[in-house]
Amino acid sequence: MKTIAQFTSVATVAILLLFSSCSNKQQGANPMMGGQVAEYLIQELKPQNITLYQAFPATLEGEQTVEIRPRVAGYIEKIFVDEGDYVKKGQLLFQINANDIRAQVRSAEAQIKVAESQVATAKIELEKTEPLVEKNIVSEFQLESVKTNLQAAEAQLAQAQANLANAKANLEYTMISSPTDGYIGTFPYRVGSLVSSSVAQPLTTVSNTSTMRAYFSINEKAFLQLTKNLEGATTGEKLANLPEVDLILPDQSVYAQKGKIEIASGVIDPQTGAINMRASFPNAEGNLRSGGSGNIRLPNYMEDVLLVPQPASYEIQGKHFVYVTNSENKVVNTEIQIVAGDLKDVFVVTSGLKAGDKIVVEGITTLRDGMQIKPKLAGQAVANSNQPSNN
């Protein structure tokens, strides 16, 4: 009898444990909550408009950068400006010693006088010969010889005149002026330096920086994403419809003037997969200088997208997941495709979720697929705009 009673007691305990286990499974309770369904904060996803920003390193160059090189050889006699000065078109920059060239001018002038006298002599000889030919005193051959001498004298005169014009031009070249408005660069040569048209470095450079050009590269994928939804049949037409861009300066401040992307190269670099692009920025106040650097910030406006708080997702082997609640208040582990962009706290979801889905936004490390929860609806925690810092 005692054995039968013990067996009955053990069987009763087993049945009770089995019933309790089935009850817990039906409720989906968290074992850590003592059999009670845990409460989790959830958020309903709603389409929003957002602006993502991408930054690309850029180098700055003036609209026009001209190398100033001497066209004649000589010693630098005077420098009329200083490095960094702003100059106007036609303003005098350098003077090269012109003593040798002045001597060439005087020599050319003397050659002209000699050639003019030779022409005069040849003309007199022709005037004397022509009547004699008419009277058959001298032959036609001698007349042709006189005419040839006159032509040779005239050719020598023309050559002398060309030499004088060339010497005078060289004399003008000793006074070097600026071909454009802009800022003066450095001076590799100083007063007394011997320079010529074959020197390795220019005397200086003049940079017209009224409009600055920012050169940067963008990978092929980003370029396609940037332009695929723009209107226009050609790349040029698409670029014309791009929004204005910002220039982030090295101190992380934002340049006051907006820029515009003008061109994109027609060839993709096979080694880097990058496309070279150019944006222009007004620079009337001269705050930007050639050779400077910065970052081009491109805006990407996205409409009716879903945003997921980063703490609501987790990553496994490069894939992102969230927990979506179903009609039975059970969580479903769901893979999503995202765009991180420059947003600090949220991801832009490109696939895996739809408007109206409810995701768990807190405590996801304690969840398991198929687990039942008690949802608590949160407010719209994600900002509907992305405003970059202008610090």
Mean pLDDT over residues 345-363, rounded? 91
Predicted confidence at residue 269, as pLDDT, reads 86
In terms of average pLDDT, the best of 77-91, 265-279, 284-298 is 77-91
For residue 388, pLDDT over 80 is answered with no
> 22-26, 71-75, 165-169, 306-310: which range is least confident on average?
22-26
CATH number attached to the domain at 54-63+210-301 = 2.40.30.170
The DSSP secondary-structure symbol of 37 reads: P
Q: Which pLDDT band holds residue 344 (cuts at 50, 70, 90)?
A: confident
For residue 294, pLDDT over 90 is answered with yes
Of residues 281 and 145, more confidence is placed in: 281
Mean pLDDT over residues 53-77, rounded? 92
Q: Does domain 98-172 have CATH number 1.10.405?
A: no
Predicted confidence at residue 234, as pLDDT, reads 86
- Bridge partners, residue 224, by sequence: none
Predicted confidence at residue 150, as pLDDT, reads 87
User: Which stretch of DSSP H or E encloses residue 74?
Assistant: strand 74-79
For residue 27, pLDDT over 60 is answered with no
Mean pLDDT score across all residues of the chain: 84
Instruction: Name the residue ranges covered by the structural domains of the chain.
Output: 54-63+210-301, 70-97+174-201, 98-172
**123: amino acid identity, one letter:** K
Task: Give the integer Cα–Cα distance in Å for 184 and 81.
Answer: 8
Domain 70-97+174-201: CATH architecture, name and number where available: Beta Barrel (2.40)
The DSSP secondary-structure symbol of 54 reads: E
**219: amino acid identity, one letter:** N
Under a CB-based contact definition with an 8 Å cutoff, are residues 189 and 94 in contact? no
Residue 373: which residues within 8 A CB-CB, separation 6 or more?
28, 37, 38, 39, 40, 325, 329, 330, 331, 360, 367
Of residues 106 and 228, more confidence is placed in: 106
